[in-house]
Structure 1
Amino acid sequence: MSVEIQISENATEAERLGILSPLLAHNLSNGGDDAHETFALLLRDPDNNEVIGGLYGKVSYQWLLIDLVSVPESMRGQGIGERLMRMAEDIARKKNCTGIWLETFSFQAPGFYLKLGYSEFGRLADYPPGHTRLYFQKLLR
């Protein structure tokens, strides 16, 4: 089969889906249906109902990926982040997850995750330059 390789500087969503579709088919035939579900734990400003932070996660292949965690700087140190994480762990247990994983930067919250019982399983040095991208997990079973 002949193929042409072309650079797309600002790839469109349609181009992304053209790459993703055969990958998803391959994953389905080898790893089974991941039947992923997303959820969010929202921190809302009581004055205007605006979302000001929270946690966004995705359950896939019996693992919970914590994709985003954000607590406004003025609210840090009050246990809100820990409450969000415990709530996410409860969701993971209810969905019979094996564990939870997440990514963070060295300048974000690695100590916070260690304090909550997460262990580092990988790192990418100098990403961004001068810092490290860290990968953490917590087994639930």
Structure 2
Amino acid sequence: MTSEQRPAAALTVGGRDEALEDRLEAELTAFNAAATRTERPEDISVRVTDITGDLVGGLTGWIWGTLAGVELLWVRADQRHAGWGSRLMTAAEDEAVRRGCTDLIVSSYTFQAPDFYVGLGFRETGRVPGVPGGHEDVYLHKTIGS
């Protein structure tokens, strides 16, 4: 098909577009599954609540074949040094191993907690500069299940 035969198209720029996100996720998931011969990633979550039911902290992530990834990890400010972050990570790692994972990845901005992950046995695999405030995005990896 030549450029003269292509249908007209319009380029638009805007804010959040949930329909576009859903479509892109579906298209890329299908492409990735075909390229890697693995199924769609599965979600994983770990939640900590106090005796009143209020959220103390939580973790969300995914499992794709033998790779697990942490997307979000948060602990409430008044509980940040009570060991919940480590317990959330241990629970996620244990579940990932139970589901057959051999590798776990996470990223953390330099103003967040990259040293926390190193203390859990992760090793830094790369950094991306350009985070506001002169910070970097730190990528970390850990071999699990062995």
* TM-score of the pair, normalised by structure 2: 0.84
Matched residue count: 140
Q: Alpha-carbon deviation of 1:120?
A: 0.8
Percent of residue pairs bearing the same amino acid type: 29
**Aligned-partner Cα distance in 2 for 1:82–1:105:** 18
**Structural RMSD (CA):** 1.8
Cα deviation 1:61-106 (Å, max 9, x = unaligned): 2111111111112112222211111111111111110210011100
Name the SS of the counterpart of 1:126 in structure 2: strand
Q: Alpha-carbon deviation of 1:36?
A: 2.0
**Which residue is equivalent to 1:70?**
74
**Aligned-partner Cα distance in 2 for 1:11–1:86:** 34
**Which residue is equivalent to 1:31?**
36
- Structure 2: runs of 5 or more not aligned: 1-5
Q: Alpha-carbon deviation of 1:33?
A: 3.0
Cα gap change, 1:79 to 1:33, in 2 (>3 Å): same
Q: Alpha-carbon deviation of 1:58?
A: 1.1
**Which residue is equivalent to 2:87?**
83
**Which residue is equivalent to 1:133?**
137
**Aligned-partner Cα distance in 1 for 2:29–2:42:** 16
**Aligned-partner Cα distance in 2 for 1:15–1:7:** 12
**Aligned-partner Cα distance in 2 for 1:51–1:110:** 23
Name the SS of the counterpart of 2:89 in structure 1: helix
Q: Counterparts in 2 of 1:51-66, with a 5 A limit?
A: 51-66=55-70
Of 50, 61, 67 in structure 2, the residue corresponding to residue 45 of structure 1 is 50
